[in-house]
Structure 1
Amino acid sequence: MSASPSPAGTTTSTPARTRGLRLRTRAGHPDFLDLPWDQPLEAWTGDRLVDVARGVHRHVVRFVEYDGALYALKELPRRLAEREYRLLRRMAEEDLPVVEVVGVVNRERIDPEEPLEDVLITRYLDYSLPYRLLFTHRRTPPQEGSELHGLHERLIDALAMLLVRMHILGFYWGDCSLSNTLFRRDAGALAAYIVDLETGELHSELTDGQRAADLEITQTNVAGGLMDVQAELDLPADPDPVETAERLQQRYDLVWAELNQETVIGPDERYKIEQRVRRLNDLGFAVDEVELLGTDGPSHTDESRLRLRVSVTEQGHHRRRLLSLTGLDAQENQARSLLNDLANFRAAKESQEGRALPESVAAYRWLNEIYEPTVRSIPAEHTDKLEPVEVFHEIIEHKWFLSRDLGRDVGVAEATESYFQRILPEVPPERAVLATEDEAELGWIGFG
């Protein structure tokens, strides 16, 4: 394989000695051969290195750039690096939200006299934020009361849903924390992504004890992480970090119960089947199978009653539906928002034209008449701020508030122009957040 070219006008680090080097990378990414693998990551210098704001990790993490794409390199003992590489790949196959694992580098035989640790390579997750930066990049929807309370609630909602999704598939995290997670904006909510999985385990099924242990560790870590950021940024004592962490268990239990509860229905209550499916869809889960079982009660009272069980697939019901209709990939809540706008567009066109529109035709027209012209009009100087689908969602939200305040229906074009003038310029860049001097002092950056 050939080495990737350096960006124009830059120099590269001295290439590593390749004797004894074992570098395994996935197709579609650089080969990374121009990096100084025969040196500890902490000693690296060169033009490829980038300072990126990140969470706090126990291992050395560096970031490098290739043709505008960022990659995170983490130094680990060989056993942990191989294990995390395998787990991240498996979790991605199960459609869990994880960073994209790119490769693993074994360096122990480069210099047997001074063996080096292995390096795990992952693709930097564009438009993601470490939890600490959520507190400095706060953007509060107008309908929220307390800004910090709202942020705390969105954080624990995202973590609770992530843990539920992992536990359903038999993944035990063992060290879930805010620092081991990245967050992306998701139509006013947050979507949590797994970054660090050194302690992870895969089982055919988790016991109640394993789930309880994972939750207990998570609550302790979340409380500690919120206390840290509270002290570092001199935030108010309210909301209380411990109380916030305790609510994580409540959120988790509610979702877990909805997914796993068994319902008894009577002969005239078949509508409850559809109700249950809709509730699960609202949580973002697709229902794979509905099972109806006769009850074991006395025949004169229960002979017609059934026990309803459902089997769910991974979360992403709205995301998959949007993808099949439009080809757009989005977070779950973003997809729900875009599907609602598509439904409104379809209803308006059917009313105007006096005829029914097939959903596929409406989706094609919405994509070409509404969505694509809107995102193409995002000013070039602001394209690094939010994902295009998040910008579109915010424009739709802005349109609603403008219409309410002005007492008339505001069109998409007018709302877009207003949003670009009044809202988007104030949004901090989030595609790849480079570290500031203040964040460096607080330890919020990758080495480099």
Structure 2
Amino acid sequence: MPLQLTGAPSDPDLLRLPWDLPLERWPEHHLVSLPRGISRHVVRFVRLSGRVYAVKEISEHFAKREYRLLWDLHRLDTPAVEPVAVVTGRTGADGEPLDSALITQHLQFSLPYRAVMSGTIRPDTLNRFLDALAVLLVRLHLTGFYWGDCSLSNILFRRDAGSFAAYLVDAETGELHPMISEGQRLHDIDVAHTNIYGEMLDLEAGGLLHPSLDPEEVADSICGRYHRLWGELTSEEIIDEVDWHMIDKRIRRLNRLGFDVAEMMVRRKAGTGRLIVRPKVVDAGHHQRRLLRLTGLDVEENQARRLLNDLDSFRVSYGLRHEDEAIVAHRWLAEVFQPTIEAVPQEMRRKLEPAQLFHEVLDHRWFMSQEAGNDVGLPTAVQSYVKNVLVFKPDEKALISEVL
């Protein structure tokens, strides 16, 4: 079978890679050094035309299956790496067949959990990781995706304001269904518990786990976080017929968690004057969608929440409460957000993505203002942030090969 590349590759140079060599023997000049998680397969990162791709060596059957799954998840707007292509028909110089390869787009500004935990992990950092994992698992299950191998090693993390956003990397064992069964859902949680317990023991053995943290308690906590969030999003709520405002409160509570309620199911409880209310369809990314609609900025959920808060403050400060929201957003983008990003030296903007950069400048402004006893303003905050904070930060952009 001749060499075949199937998918939607945007770079013809992918065909020119040394596919006649096993990945572990690829020449260094083709590779870029990036932090990578633990994998049962050989994985290499390559940089072509300014983009970074992850290449995983795997059998043809599983390469094609995982490509289709990742594409379906991408189509459903689920947090997962973007598939690019599958390479089949590989043969070595000696004529012996080689495993196929799955190519995915590397997620910029993302890191495996071990790279972020390169120092002794603090309890609050771990809490944010576990929250991000719980949100990812819930989103996958709401989509009907059964993972089968949930672990921190199969996830990439991106900074999201003061939290993290988690993305699925390995879908090799996954299955996509119209609706996930209760048994599949609970099995996923059991697997997550076992894998995370093992990963925490590994961190503890390497001296990377904070002494106050117990590996088993950490693994238990992910289950508790998941079940609380799942219950908030899907459980039934019984209210008196006169308490219709409780439905509005439920929707607002879900919005604060970053989820939109596309439909509510309301039915009368037999023999009583009460109603049973249940969110029928729940979509993640409430703040993301609002910010994207208003400004065109496509960012993580917590970053969107922070930017929207600043936009709302801008609206109040300039007496624009009664102005059209889209017009206010355009002014905020032109007068606040863009000037803030442009005030950062060009060579330093690659350290963080723009939304995260803006969020950290806002934080820095708040601390400076608290110390000064008055608002120091954005221009002053940007200058101080660049000089005293950003200059010391490692570069998180995928094109930079520094390992944190």
TM-score (ref. length: structure 2):
0.95
Summarize deviations over 1:171-220 as a string: whole Å, max 9, x none.
Answer: 01111111110000000100001111111111222222211111111111
1:4-43 alignment, distance < 5 Å: 20-43=2-25
Segment drifting more, 206-215 vs 228-237: 228-237
Matched, 1:334 2:303: yes
Equivalent of 1:99, from 81, 85, 97? 81
Alpha carbons of 1:148 and 1:46: their partners in 2 closer, same or farther (altered >3 Å)?
Answer: closer
**Cα offset, 1:48, TM superposition:** 2.2
Aligned to 2:156: 182
How does 1:29-428 map onto structure 2 within 5 Å?
29-45=11-27, 47-108=29-90, 114-136=96-118, 148-297=122-271, 302=272, 304-350=273-319, 356-428=322-394
Alignment-mate amino acid for residue 74 of structure 2:
A
**Alignment size in residue pairs:** 403
Bigger-Rg structure (1/2): 1
| Contact 1:38/1:107, CA 8 A, preserved across alignment | no
Question: Are the equivalent residues in 2 in contact too, given 1:182–1:195 (CA < 8 A)?
Answer: yes
Distance in 2 (alpha carbons) for counterparts of 1:77 and 1:123: 19
Structure 1 runs not aligned, ≥5 long? 1-18, 139-146, 440-448
TM-score w.r.t. the length of structure 1 is 0.86
CA drift of 1:27 comes to 4.7
Is 76-85 or 107-116 further displaced after alignment?
Answer: 107-116
Partner residue, 1:10: none
Moved more, 410-419 or 86-95: 410-419
Cα deviation 1:45-100 (Å, max 9, x = unaligned): 15221122110111111111112211110000111101110000000111111111
Query: What secondary structure sits across from 1:90 in the alignment?
Result: helix
- Matched residue SS, 2:322: coil
Structure 1 segment 424-439 matched on structure 2, within 5 A: 424-432=390-398, 434=401
Shift of 1:111: 7.8
Name the SS of the counterpart of 1:396 in structure 2: helix
Cα distance in structure 1, aligned partners of 2:263 and 2:283: 13
- CA separation of 1:107/1:219 partners in 2, compared to 1, >3 Å: closer, same or farther? same
Distance 1:409 1:209 in 2: 54
- Name 1:445's counterpart in structure 2: none
Write the distance in 2 (CA, Å) between the matches of 1:129 and 1:382.
19
Which of 1 and 2 has higher RCO (CA within 8 Å, sep 6+)?
1
* Equivalent position SS for 1:190: strand
List per-residue Cα deviations over 1:218-247 (Å, max 9, x = no partner): 111112222223333454432122211110
Residue identity matched to 2:245: Y
Counterpart AA for 1:214: D
| Distance change in 2, residues 1:435/1:399 (3 Å) | closer
* Overall identity of the aligned pairs, in %: 47
Q: Shift in Å at residue 151 of structure 1?
A: 1.1
Q: In the alignment, what sits opposite 1:3?
A: none
Do the aligned partners of 1:20 and 1:110 also contact (CA within 8 Å) in 2?
no
Match of 1:446 in 2: none
**Inter-CA distance 409–272: structure 2 relative to 1 (3 Å threshold):** same
CA RMSD of aligned residues (A): 1.9
Q: 1:415 & 1:218 partners in 2: Cα distance?
A: 42
Q: C-alpha distance in 1, partners of 2:313/2:371? A: 20
Gaps of 5+ in 2: none
How many Å separate the matches in 2 of 1:169 and 1:394?
32
